Chain A
């Protein structure tokens, strides 16, 4: 069962709807016992970095997720700010992240983008996978995904970058390390490519 971690994010219902259509057992939950029964997690974001971390911390979910993801090595997929908090810290806030994938969340350098529109990075953009990963199986990379953000994951270890996007240079848009995965774009709002990501995550 995949637990969609429910701590105030709006996109949980859309993610659950996709999993339902894929016939993947899932639950939208913040209940610690139910979370412990899950074998995989999807972690969406809720607004800015600090707000997401604080909400997660206050609901006691950090301890549970640490125990399940770091202790028991269950798989987790962070989406948008849910990916950003996998890192150590962010330019956008002052709270520390979960620190599961080494790296810092940085603001995209506006000066590196040749012409307006600059920030936020908004719309459909192609992606490039750095290493073969089952998470991107069946994805049309040229079509890519829907992006809506101004910050990106600057991974300390290049091996943790699964995919990049061209926006004022090649910036990481998906990171991963063992059982932990994250993506900046919105698979729940990216049509068939997004559905492929969820199907793959359920199978890996």
Chain B
């Protein structure tokens, strides 16, 4: 049967990999190509790469790097960061990535989602939405540009609009939980799950496989994504790329 996807999410910053807390304080955790090699060995379900500078600094996806990562990878790959056109998405797919994520550009111009779906197929179109829980009233607010820009689009309506325009997957990234390793926001996950039919991935808060199991128990088959959990070990956050799954399997035997 179809299984939940356990997905390391790796942040690209100045050519290296970093991990943030609350979208701030990027800490260097290693080299992207080396990380792909290690995750190959661990037979990871899939990998997501996000270039956290691309949108903020306004540069295009670094195709040469993506090509190198794709050749090496034995697992499916998703790329996000600075994608603003269907043509770029098509070039990213041509490097050997399976999925392309858009965020800020899709909020600015939702029809981009439809253009991408026509170009690369809905199954390869991912819309990633960064959110913070509201402080004074219920619900969540969407952000872009690494949490610096507040958006007006209501979360659940935007998720529905994105899927009706052709998004094959929605990734919800909780800014409040980024790097906290204290568990996913299950209420957020449930609300989005109830609003859409497509595959859903939740990012932000995972600190252990128990957190991932709690997410699966709450919403069923899901993408459980994590950053810190897969790049740090121990209470002092020593850098160590690792992988574990809530079902206890260490992935498949080595390729």
Instruction: Give A residues with C-beta under 8 Å from B.
Output: 8-14, 17-18, 47-48, 110, 115-126, 140, 143, 146-150, 166-167, 186, 188-195
B72 close to A17 (CB less than 8 A): yes
Q: Which residues of B sit under 8 angstroms from A126, Cβ to Cβ?
A: 1
Give the CA-CA distance A122 to B1 in the complex, in Å.
12
A112 vs chain B, min Cβ distance (A)? 13
Which of A115, A125, A189 is B76 in contact with, Cβ under 8 Å? A189
Name B29-81 residues within 8 Å CB distance of A. 40, 43, 45-46, 67, 70-77
Give the CA-CA distance A135 to B96 in the complex, in Å.
24
Give the CA-CA distance A124 to B249 in the complex, in Å.
14
A191 close to B199 (CB less than 8 A): no
Name B1-41 residues within 8 Å CB distance of A. 1-5, 40
In the complex, the number of residue pairs spanning A and B with C-beta atoms less than 8 Å apart equals 124
Q: Which residues of A sit under 8 angstroms from B110, Cβ to Cβ?
A: none
Q: Is B230 an interface residue (CB 8 A)?
A: no
B12 vs chain A, min Cβ distance (A)? 19
A7 vs chain B, min Cβ distance (A)? 11
Look across to chain A and name the residue whose beta carbon is closest to the beta carbon of B219.
A116
Q: Which residues of B sit under 8 angstroms from A116, Cβ to Cβ?
A: 193, 196-198, 200, 220
Look across to chain A and name the residue whose beta carbon is closest to the beta carbon of B66.
A10
Instruction: Give B residues with C-beta under 8 Å from A.
Output: 1-5, 40, 43, 45-46, 67, 70-77, 90, 93-99, 119-124, 168-169, 193, 196-200, 220-223, 251-255
Give the CA-CA distance A124 to B3 in the complex, in Å.
6
A13 close to B2 (CB less than 8 A): no
A123 close to B98 (CB less than 8 A): no
Q: A123-B221, A166-B1, A191-B252 are in contact. Are A10 and B123 (CB under 8 A)?
A: no
Give the CA-CA distance A125 to B221 in the complex, in Å.
12
B43 close to A118 (CB less than 8 A): no
B200 close to A191 (CB less than 8 A): no
B93 close to A189 (CB less than 8 A): no
Q: A117-B197, A124-B3 are in contact. Are A191 and B221 (CB under 8 A)?
A: no
Q: A116-B193, A117-B198 are in contact. Are A186 and B123 (CB under 8 A)?
A: no
Q: Which residues of A sit under 8 angstroms from B45, Cβ to Cβ?
A: 123-124, 146
Which of B94, B119, B121 is A8 in contact with, Cβ under 8 Å? B94
Q: Which residues of A sit under 8 angstroms from B3, Cβ to Cβ?
A: 123-125
Which of B75, B77, B120, B123 is A122 in contact with, Cβ under 8 Å? B123
A13 close to B70 (CB less than 8 A): yes
Q: A122-B168, A123-B2 are in contact. Are A14 and B121 (CB under 8 A)?
A: no
Q: Which residues of B sit under 8 angstroms from A14, Cβ to Cβ?
A: 70-71, 73-74, 96
Q: Which residues of B sit under 8 angstroms from A148, Cβ to Cβ?
A: 76, 98-99, 123-124
